[in-house]
Amino acid sequence: MADDERSTADRHQPVLLQRCVDLLAPALAEPGSVLVDCTLGMGGHTEAVLEQVPGARVVGIDRDPQALRLAGERLARFGDRFTAVHAVYDEIGDVVARLGLDGVQGVLMDLGVSSLQLDEAGRGFAYAQDAPLDMRMDQTTGITAAEVLNTYDERELTRVLREYGEERFAAKIARSVVRRRVERPWARTHELADLVRACIPAATRKTGGNPSKRTFQALRIEVNGELEVLERAVPAAIEALALGGRIVVESYHSLEDRIVKRAIARGTTSSAPPGLPVEPETHRPYLEALTRGAEEADADELVRNPRSASVRLRAATRTRPTPAHLKTGTPSITRKEERR
């Protein structure tokens, strides 16, 4: 049976599914309430919300056309309660505006690479399966991992591996990548996995899982501009929330979680200068945290769904409008975006 013919429910088990629904449901109780699922994937979280909160509508955003098609088939039974949008999730403000919505009641982000992308060998995300070095979440646009490996200089490659993969041996791997591409261009995932393994000392390889995982993570983040998108997306999602609306974000590595933590902390902390006898109204927090720090998967979830091992969940609710002096402007276009 071809992958596309398999049930999407069989191919993907959403992480912390019920916890996400429970956090979002109070804000979606009124008929016509809208949730924006910013990372639709194969629609598991959205399906659960539509089943358990019968008055809610969901707008599902994804940059991956294959995910949109599969999720659309899965969710077709909900009719006009579900709307699919092909976009990158930092465009949430534009999406909400185009749909004529004056704020939404919920936002969900399940970050990182999806099960669909990991399990599709031809996408090049998985180091355990040989495939072209692609790694684009949207294969209709942007540079591939092979292009990164074949065109970035050694210094830039080292930066990508060190910053996005937190790879201790970034410089050695980058040097080897550049040296090897002189002989023939990078094209396949197994070639990269073999080179990374050779660059990492045997003693280090004994722990920490596959030695290629940090390099593959770094390249995926670079190819898709994931952290740059997330830096814009979380504030934009908060601004899209109506009063009483809730945002729930699942992160899978420290770089993502740090961005989410910072954005939520900004909204849950007074912006008044220290020492003032009375806190001015304009400096009061505009978010209230719904989780104490970051929540992790419990033992039962880890058994059911091993991919939940690294999840960190944070959630907050909007309590008042964002003060004008704290609203972020439109970020400037980065060098990475200009290339894309």
Name the token pair of 293: 């720090």
Q: Is 105 annotated as a binding residue?
A: no
Q: Does 89 count as an annotated binding residue? A: yes
62 labelled binding-site residue: yes
DSSP 8-state symbol, 250? E
Would the annotation count 110 as a binding residue?
Answer: yes
Query: In sequence order, what DSSP letters do the residues of 8-70 get, joined into one string?
Result: HHHH---TTHHHHHHHHGGGG-STT-EEEETT-TTSHHHHHHHHH-TT-EEEEEES-HHHHHH
267 is an annotated ligand-binding site residue = no
For 336, other C-beta atoms within 10 Å of its C-beta total 16
- Residue 247 in tokens: 């945002």
Strands 312-318 and 104-110: unpaired
The first and second tokens of residue 74, run together, are 């899965």
Give the phi and the psi of residue 110 in degrees, each rounded to 5.
-115, 95
Rounded Cα gap, residues 59 and 107, in angstroms: 10
Does the annotation list 45 as a binding residue?
yes
Locate tokens 């659309």: which residue?
72
Residues with Cβ < 8 Å from 154, sequence gap 6 or more?
174, 175, 177, 178
What does the block give as tokens for 129?
């399966």
Question: How are the residues of the chain apportioned to helix, strand and coil, as percentages rounded to the nearest 5?
Answer: 50, 15, 35
Annotated binding site for S-adenosyl-L-methionine: 43-45, 62, 89, 110, 117
Annotated binding site: 43-45, 62, 89, 110, 117
